[in-house]
Structure 1
Amino acid sequence: MTDLQPVPEQRKTLTHANCVVSIPLGYRPLQLDLHVPPGDGPFPVVLWIHGGGWLSGSRVWTVDQRFHERMVARGYAVADVDYRLALEATYPAQQADIEAAIRWLRHHAAALRVDAGRFAVLGESAGGQLAAIAGLTGSGDTAIQAVILWYGPADLSTLRNQDDPFTGPALLLGGPLSERTALARLASPLHNIHPDAPPFLLVHGTEDEVVPFAEAVGFAEALRAQGVRCDVLPVEGAGHVFTGASVEVGTLTEAGADFLDDVLGRQD
């Protein structure tokens, strides 16, 4: 029997729903939902990029059930972004989808009351890989000014099960990792670091067995070696998706807002 999903809760902060940002030929239209604080703005915007192992999930998935309320209350617009999953299209289609969302938001910034010069991305798990790549490769109309990763993988080229064609990363890249080394490095944040990258905040559970905490530490060290600011917030005792965390997930959302206040600057 198919598992029935719960009725979604009303999103009280939702301002613009189902905005079509691109129509890739042969695929479904890609959309985003936008939550904008009240007032004239312009407000900095955070693109939320969901996880799900590149195989599941949608833009309405959140880890913190009050994520939008918290961010909007802190003066940040939030754009919930969809991208093609691995069984719809292989990489770099997902990167192109995130870039399309960034371009659309920046093009319509004035009408949407968002600040074209203050764009951040926040991705969790697989979405963290996409968020990091967006931050590291964006320029011009796809530029990103700050990145927050929640337990995102930094290096796809060294993952386990290199010869298995059915893992999430293998399906993302179109074949076993052992046969996709160059593409895996191209998709890996660790191998795209450069001195002009935006500041990063890594929020990661110390007991994460899916993406080990040591991967976040190594990624932070590599960023700092290039002169890029990278803050690390260990979540003691937490596994993947912050399971078993000793703190409420909302405090991690607030920590992200504190980081953005610092690197993007507040405009009260």
Structure 2
Amino acid sequence: MADPVTAAGPTVRDLIAAPHPDRAALPPAEVRESGIRTLRGVPYHVTEGARPLELDLWLPKDDRAGPVPLVLFVHGGSWRRGRRDDMGLRTRAWDPGPFARIAAAGCAVASVDYRLSGEAAFPAPLDDVSAALRWLTLRSAELGVDTRRTVVWGESAGGHLAALLALTHTAPPLAGAVIWYAPSDLTTARGCFTPQDPTTPEALLLGAAPATVPGRARAASPLAQAHSGAPPFLLVHGNEDTLVSCSHSRSLAAALEEAGAQVELRTVAGADHGWHRLPDAQVEEIFTHSLAFARRLVT
């Protein structure tokens, strides 16, 4: 049914629609005892026929002279599930949580939604995290962040998307990437993954068994996107990972090094996926090392 149009102004449909994320007012920040500010559920992108995508922001104490660097966090969950506020199994009980710790170290954190594989096939989730970076750049003056100093950080499936973003996004280019136990190759059998199986999380991401869509599988493989202009990478992976073979990170590290890019690979003895079976102190050390790597690139 067509909306009535008048010479006097917008249609009823225009009037009742929620403001576009590019122009909508930001929600009020919650100020914590530490001075860290949080903005929850901020819409950043709307795709026709899909749910609005949101992000959460953790901002450092408001006592700095200029805009602060940014960590863009991408959650895991086999591209099928997961929550933007979750850095993984072993950080859920931390108090303060991992994002508050990053903000206390002087970096803003944006943790983002993206369309899951039950909603849309690749490249939709990569388009979404790219759209989040675009929105953060557009609203950077209001937020007090400098997206020219962005490190993308992801775990598991989120690490896969984070790696792809770091390797393909150019405006602005990213300052670095922190990738925890993520797939890098959707074209070759590794561990429990086989590209002929149409039921794997990788197949659900692509919309078909990877072997039947080789071009799409290659486009979705960070390993195939490694190039000399890649930002510095930190790859951290357990050598006993039963869900995503450690060979994914080893191969990506080798490809980046061969291309002439800066890369640090840490394989963690005895660690399964999500840092399962590691002592708490070792998980804390991995996080601290990852944060120090990110801060060296942007501060």
Give TM-score scaled by structure 2 length.
0.81
1:244 maps to what in 2?
277
Distance, in Å, in 1 between the alignment partners of 2:205 and 2:168 is: 19
Aligned residues: 255
Residues 43 and 221 of structure 1, relative CA distance in 2, 3 Å threshold: same
What does residue range 47-58 of structure 1 map to in structure 2 within 5 Å? 47-58=72-83
1:184 aligns with 2:184: no
1:27 maps to what in 2?
50
1:6 maps to what in 2?
none
Distance, in Å, in 2 between the alignment partners of 1:233 and 1:177 is: 28
1:139 maps to what in 2?
170
Q: Which ranges of structure 2 fall in alignment gaps of 5 or more residues? A: 1-29
Cα-to-partner distance string for 1:99-156 (whole Å, 9 max, x where unaligned): 0100011111111111121011101001111000000000114x21110000011101
1:105 aligns with 2:136: yes
Q: Identify which of 47, 57, 68 aligns with 1:43.
A: 68
The alpha carbon displacement at 1:11 in A equals 10
Distance, in Å, in 2 between the alignment partners of 1:213 and 1:158 is: 14
What does residue range 210-221 of structure 1 map to in structure 2 within 5 Å? 210-221=243-254
Larger radius of gyration: 2
Distance, in Å, in 2 between the alignment partners of 1:127 and 1:18 is: 19
CA contact (8 A) 2:58 2:100 kept: no
Q: Identify which of 10, 15, 18 aligns with 2:38.
A: 15
Q: Identify which of 165, 176, 180 aligns with 1:150.
A: 180
1:73 aligns with 2:104: yes
SS of the equivalent of 2:142 reads helix
The alpha carbon displacement at 1:240 in A equals 0.3
Cα-to-partner distance string for 1:142-184 (whole Å, 9 max, x where unaligned): x211100000111011143323222111011011112011101
Distance, in Å, in 1 between the alignment partners of 2:255 and 2:275 is: 24
SS of the equivalent of 1:250 reads helix
Distance, in Å, in 1 between the alignment partners of 2:254 and 2:283 is: 25
Residues 210 and 11 of structure 1, relative CA distance in 2, 3 Å threshold: farther
Cα-to-partner distance string for 1:200-251 (whole Å, 9 max, x where unaligned): 0011112112122222112111101111110112222110001012444222
Deviates more, 1:14-23 or 1:79-88: 14-23
Distance, in Å, in 1 between the alignment partners of 2:115 and 2:214 is: 22
1:260 aligns with 2:294: yes
Distance, in Å, in 1 between the alignment partners of 2:48 and 2:103 is: 34
Q: Which ranges of structure 1 fall in alignment gaps of 5 or more residues? A: 1-9
Distance, in Å, in 1 between the alignment partners of 2:165 and 2:203 is: 20
CA contact (8 A) 2:87 2:155 kept: no
- Name the aligned partner's letter for residue 226 of structure 2: I
Q: Identify which of 215, 219, 232 aligns with 1:199.
A: 232
The alpha carbon displacement at 1:59 in A equals 0.4
CA contact (8 A) 1:156 1:184 kept: yes
1:7 maps to what in 2?
none
2:14 maps to what in 1?
none
Deviates more, 1:155-164 or 1:236-245: 155-164
- Name the aligned partner's letter for residue 160 of structure 2: Q
Give the superposed CA RMSD: 1.6
CA contact (8 A) 1:14 1:33 kept: no
1:228 aligns with 2:244: no
Cα-to-partner distance string for 1:36-68 (whole Å, 9 max, x where unaligned): 001234111111101000111020222223211
SS of the equivalent of 2:203 reads helix
Identical aligned residues as a percent: 40
The alpha carbon displacement at 1:14 in A equals 5.0
The alpha carbon displacement at 1:30 in A equals 0.4
